[in-house]
Amino acid sequence: MIKILVVDDHDLVRTGIVRILNDVKDFKVVAEAESGEKAVDYCRKHTPDIVLMDISMPGIGGLEATRKVTRICDSSRVICVSMHKENPLPTKIMQAGAYGFITKDAGTSEMINAIYKVHSGQKYVSPDVAQVIALGQLTGDTDNPFNQLSDRELEITMMLTKGVRVTEIANRLSISAKTVNTHRYRTFEKLDVQSDVDLTHLALRHNIIQSSA
């Protein structure tokens, strides 16, 4: 029996994933968590085989939670589940110790397959994300200015470029709007941009996000 911890701050998403997994006879969802801190705490308590980890969550977030889980819980393997598939995020997540990365638009069969593969000791990355990571490694990705950003700055940048307001980002991450703006201005300084619009245009040029047009 493969013991699984499902981590996502959206109740509907988490409930949907749990229902899918509970229909698989080899799987047992041992706990659910809505934040990075709880994910780490539940890993200590339940020692799951697999942790399905969202990235953009309240508190420490998925990146830092992945680092903590892989350091503290040797037997737990993390598969990150994210809507963001553009580098440098997938590369950072894998470097943080994750065994897998699938996108939130992945089908049920892909999620199940990823869990089986990672549980057997293999790494699994969604094909389109694997291509992004491979291309970054081939080119060296040294000219990508977003590599300068901290994990939190990158997390906030991804939300800003999606049009999420500062107050909403603060609510999602359980930090103050002032702290969000501090990260925002540091990001502007590092990337030499003046506004969220400039930031979005730069993200598009470096394939951090994709145009919806």
Q: For the segment 57-72, what is each residue's pLDDT rounded down to a tens digit?
A: 777 788 889 989 999 9
Q: What is the pTM of this model?
A: 0.77
Q: For the segment 26-60, what is each residue's pLDDT rounded down to a tens digit?
A: 999 999 999 889 999 999 999 999 999 998 777 77
Domains and CATH numbers, the chain: 2-138 (3.40.50.2300), 145-205 (1.10.10.10)
pLDDT confidence band for 138 (50 / 70 / 90): low
Q: Give residues with Cβ within 8 angstroms of 85, minimum separation 6.
A: 103, 126, 128, 129, 132
Mean of pLDDT values over 129-148:
69
So what's the pLDDT on residue 58? Answer: 73
Judged against a pLDDT cut of 90, whether residue 149 lies above it is answered with: no
Mean pLDDT of the chain: 87
Judged against a pLDDT cut of 90, whether residue 146 lies above it is answered with: no
Judged against a pLDDT cut of 80, whether residue 98 lies above it is answered with: yes
Q: For the segment 190-210, what is each residue's pLDDT rounded down to a tens digit?
A: 999 999 999 999 988 876 766
The H or E element spanning position 125 is strand 124-125
